[in-house]
Amino acid sequence: MDPLRAARQAKHLAFVADKRSRRALKKAKFDLATLAFRQTERIRPFSYDPSRYADTFLARSVLPDRPSAFPERVFAIWAGENELTDNRKRNLELVRSRIGLPVELVTPASLGRWLVPGHLLHPAYEHLSLIHRSDYLRGYLMHHHGGAYVDIKRPLDSWSVPFSVMERDPHAWVTSYSAAHANWIGKLPGRMGRDILIHYRVTFGKSGFMMRSQTPLTSEWMAEMDLRLDAARSALAAHPGGVFGDDPEYPLSWTDLLGRILDPLTLKYLAHVRLDDRLLLDFEDYR
């Protein structure tokens, strides 16, 4: 074998082995954390202390600019121009038949009808991966329109009763299923990251949830997403995300627009978060 080719293959195999090893160690870490912190809320319930996060984006407050709304509607998003896969088509039909609420599929062709005058999508949106486009759009739709969001995955139950429960609770800004595993959180460094890991059970699922529009939580979610996209705009233009953001120079990590913003905001606005596992989805074989 050509020595240069052999060296490249050896380097690739070492990279793959290292990646698998790190993934295994990460899984073991979060498996252990899941067991260690499962009962934390019974022993030491979380209490928000603003001074503890004074050096983070949680110190900024952004007020809504319009009245809140909670319409009886579920958004699903398909952010690409490509056709839905057969699995996704089947799951979308299951969403429509089981979820118990009107469903709106937002695609590039239908997105325009949901854009709010004076609140256009961030200029960097076109350079985001399709995954991050979906993340950004669910924040945009929840902030400006409200209702519910669901991934195109099979619902395990009807959402009609949880919707009615939230509708009667004006202090509820979010309802979703609870995090069953510590690996479901947005991983963050420092004090905030440790607190979210220890209190992972109070965080909510990001694949399916209900939200009132125009709350401080949605306002701060949108504001923080826009700030992050402002900072990454040049890098995004140079290294657009494609489908999954596989370019090594793509500047956003997997949960930058979702878990790494919403989990901290959950701590801040925990009094307005409701957990209901009737919103759980089937996370197996959905692509």
Q: Of 272, 266, 119, 146, whose CA–CA distance to 206 is shortest?
A: 266
Structure tokens at 240: 């657009």
pLDDT digits (tens, 9 = 90+) for 166-214: 999 999 999 999 999 999 999 999 999 999 999 999 999 999 999 999 9
The reported pLDDT for the residue numbered 287 is: 76
Q: Render 207-262 in DSSP notation, one character per residue.
A: EEEEE-SS-HHHHHHHHHHHHHHHHHHHHHHHS--TTTT-STT----TTTTTHHHH
Vertex 282: Cα angle to 188 and 262 (nearest 5): 25
C-alpha angle 167-173-175 in degrees, rounded to nearest 5: 75
Say what the pLDDT of residue 1 is.
54
d(CA 93, CA 262): 28
pLDDT for the residue 15: 47
Looking at the chain, the whole-number percentage of residues with pLDDT higher than 70 is 91
Beta bridge pairs of residue 175? 210, 274
What's the whole-number average pLDDT of the chain? 92
> Mean per-residue pLDDT for 52-56?
97
* pTM higher than the cut 0.95: no
Classify domain 43-279 at the CATH class level: alpha beta
User: pLDDT tens digit string along 112-164?
Assistant: 999 999 999 999 999 999 999 999 999 999 999 999 999 999 999 999 999 99
Q: Which residue ranges make up each domain of the chain?
A: 1-36, 43-279
The runs of H, that is alpha helices, within 127-215 are: 130-144, 160-167, 190-198
Predicted pLDDT of residue 7 = 52
Element of type H or E holding 148: strand 147-150
Q: Residue 29 has what pLDDT?
A: 84
Alpha carbon 172 to chain centroid distance? 19
Residue 285: band (very low, low, confident or very high) from pLDDT cuts 50, 70, 90:
confident
Over residues 22-51, the pLDDT tens digits come to 666 667 888 999 999 999 999 999 999 999
The mean pLDDT of 57-81, rounded to a whole number, is: 97
Say yes or no to pLDDT of 11 above 60.
Answer: no
